[in-house]
Amino acid sequence: MNGGDAATSQGSGPPPPLEWRFSQVFGERTAGEEVQEVDIISAIEFNKSGDHLATGDRGGRVVLFERTDAKDHGGSRRDLERADYAVKHPEFRYKTEFQSHEPEFDYLKSLEIEEKINKIRWCQPANGALFLLSTNDKTIKFWKVQEKKIKKVCDMNVDPSKAVGNGCLTSSSSPSQSVANGLYADGTHNYLSNDFSFPPGGFPSLHLPVVTSQEASIVARCRRVYTHAHDYHINSISNSSDGETFISADDLRVNLWNLGISNQSFNIVDVKPANMEDLTEVITSAEFHPIHCNVLAYSSSKGSIRLIDLRQSALCDTHSKLFEEPEAPGSRSFFTEIIASISDIKFSKDGRYILSRDYMTLKLWDINMDSGPVATYQVHEHLRPKLCDLYENDSIFDKFECCLSGDGSRVATGSYSNLFRVFGVAPGITEATTLEASKNPMRRQVQTPSRPSRSLSSITRVVRRGSESPGSDGNGNSFDFTTKLLHLAWHPTENSVACAAANSLYMYYA
């Protein structure tokens, strides 16, 4: 099914297909360089304005980038010479990084808690400072990032003849020549000793210390730590549109927090059965509505999405709407439930649609129509004949993220071989573009209608010892299960996409 039914009201006619180009790369590997596990990017998020970008990695670090292109620095000769290039896409530069989480050990449960950053969410800025939430499996932290001017004393209140360097007192490596009893080694008075007394005749000269402000330094400070609220691994955090609350979700519960209160939260969703043997599905992702602070959605491992309204009851045991696609008769197999599990959901900017990603497809849902998705996009249909091999090497459990453009006309998600796909969802659009996370994304670009790719008779054979051989898909493009593009984000106002391939952050624009 193509995206013709997904009305986006973005003008009278459908937008033309986008021509994607490489923009920037941060942390690109050199040939033969081995990627360290702690450097692999595990979260990406633009802030609301799109002027800042944050990434988190498996080593618990958060890296911030800021926009620096002609939009903010217009008028320079370099920008004027590159006007066409500068206007088309944003340019970013490294801003700062900080250690958000450290590895921990839960002694009560004898469990190691990884420092890996699962999600990052920006909060509303204030007074020129940036605020964001980051979480690992158990602990959420609230960070404030701002520029601080470092003040430094350049002249000390001592006689220059008794000072060396930057106003430091002369010293000797010999203990016998150390300062003692208020005297220097040469017999003169030590005016700074604890046994202070005015010298005979008073001070010959008095030098007041001078404080100078050095260049600004960016400082990240942890303002609050939200912990001890989840028994299972946190998979989602999401800010409310009211700017005061956020939710966190694990496999069985969704908790509501106030940003200003870190020692208590309110449990709003609990799907844990009285007997754990009766457990049939778990929560996989949760997201607040972008406009209405009382509405949120969460997805499950059974491929369903539930919309809940916080005004209906304190504990949202019942949903206000349920979105799930009916199972086609005779299509059930051992892998049906596994590939139906939704790994990520996102609201469109206006809150009208929900985009969901399961293992094989992207689905677009209209929140006013719960009979089924208004559009389905096949991401890598050519892998369907090899689900058994994907199951054996655990690739079938990979959790791919999805994103929407700011105007709601396009959606994107990742795949294997560091590929990602962009689909048009505006009326009449059949755009489906495949790009590779590299400096030459066009070499694997394919413009085809958004329909399932034809299956191959021969696809990558998974070797049990873990090394997969490259294969090729229905369009003749090679692919490799060992490289995968799980995380990506779309700029909120422009056609620019940031995506992570291992430890590298690639930026593209159209």
Read off the pLDDT of residues 100-138 as tens digits, 9 standing for 90 and up. 999 998 888 888 999 999 999 999 998 889 999 999 999
- Which DSSP symbol is given to 118? -
Query: Among 3.30.1360.30, 2.130.10.10, 3.30.10.20, 3.40.980.10, what is the CATH number of 3-151+215-509?
Result: 2.130.10.10
In this prediction, what percent of the chain has a pLDDT beyond 70? 75
pLDDT digits (tens, 9 = 90+) for 318-376: 889 999 998 777 778 889 999 999 999 999 999 999 999 999 999 999 999 988 999 99
Distances (CA, A) of 403 to 228, 436, 489: 30, 17, 6
> Is the CB of residue 24 less than 8 Å from the CB of residue 437?
no
pLDDT at 480: 74
pLDDT at 209: 75
Better-scored residue on pLDDT, 192 or 128: 128
Please state, rounded to an integer, the average pLDDT across all residues of the chain. Answer: 80
Any idea how long the chain is?
A: 510
State the Cα–Cα distance between residues 41 and 58, nearest whole angstrom.
6
pTM for the complete prediction? 0.78
The helix or strand, by DSSP H or E, that contains position 80, with its residue range, turns out to be helix 77-81
Q: With a cut of 60, say whether residue 92 has pLDDT above it.
A: yes
Distances (CA, A) of 268 to 192, 252, 297: 63, 11, 12
> Is the CB of residue 165 less than 8 Å from the CB of residue 154?
no
pLDDT digits (tens, 9 = 90+) for 488-509: 999 999 999 999 999 999 999 9
Neighbours of 172 (CB within 10 A): 11
pLDDT band at 141 (very low <50, low <70, confident <90, very high): very high
CA 166 and chain centroid, separation:
44
State the Cα–Cα distance between residues 220 and 61, nearest whole angstrom.
12
| From 7-11, 112-116, 195-199, 240-244, the region with the lowest mean pLDDT | 7-11
DSSP for 396-465? GG----EEE-TTSSEEEEE-BTTEEEEEE-STT---EEEEESSS-GGGG--B--SSPPPPPSS--PBPTT
pLDDT at 317: 81
In this prediction, what percent of the chain has a pLDDT beyond 90? 57
Better-scored residue on pLDDT, 201 or 370: 370
State the Cα–Cα distance between residues 181 and 202, nearest whole angstrom.
19
Average pLDDT (216-241) is 94
